[in-house]
Structure 1
């Protein structure tokens, strides 16, 4: 799927979702950019610090809260890992 379309679809989906903040948007956009930089794959595997750097989010607590919420709200599927040496898996829900 075209990354621009994915971002556009996300913006359409969140238009009336009061739960979504600018931090959620920054994380989703950073995930799209990370995906683009890694061969447009679905799912992606990433460390939190890789996405935080792109999204300009300093606090890991904020990152984890927002990515869990994006998962809970159905915008993506987040599969965290307990092993610090392995990346978490993130699936995009594209139409």
Structure 2
């Protein structure tokens, strides 16, 4: 079994605390964040990763494409995520978590 690189404990701690404190976010937003986190690259927490709408909707239990896009656009607008859509069926769209490091700069 291949060993997985361990992230520093604090890499996503502040990010998830920010999400937990944000009263604008609903359970659908949290589900989508969980799905995105599942698909992100653990070896590169600050880098871009790809995921398809179909997989994200299935994992997050979002059934409506309109709800998916609403939650996604709000996560982008609220500063939690970068998103570049793709219409390539195999590649998926490109995402990146916006994780603020110490001193308030983007990590």
TMscore range, shorter length: 0.7 to 0.9
Q: Tell me the C-alpha RMSD between the 2 structures.
A: 2.4
**Greater fraction of residues in helix:** 1
- Report 1:18-57 matches (<5 A): 18-35=23-40, 40-41=43-44, 42-57=47-62
Q: How many residues align?
A: 92
TM-score calculated relative to the size of structure 2: 0.70
Unmatched 5+ residue regions in structure 1?
A: none
- Decide whether aligned partners of structure 1 residues 40 and 27 sit closer, same or farther in structure 2, where only a CA change above 3 A counts: farther
- Decide whether aligned partners of structure 1 residues 44 and 26 sit closer, same or farther in structure 2, where only a CA change above 3 A counts: same
CA deviations over 1:50-93 (Å, ceiling 9, x no partner) = 11111111111111110110001000111113x35352110111
CA distance in 2, matches of 1:34, 1:27: 11
Structure number with greater Rg is 2
CA distance in 1, matches of 2:48, 2:96: 4
Q: Are 1:80 and 2:94 counterparts?
A: no
Unmatched 5+ residue regions in structure 2?
A: 1-5, 102-107
- Residue 8 of structure 1 corresponds to 13
User: How much does 1:10 deviate?
Assistant: 2.9
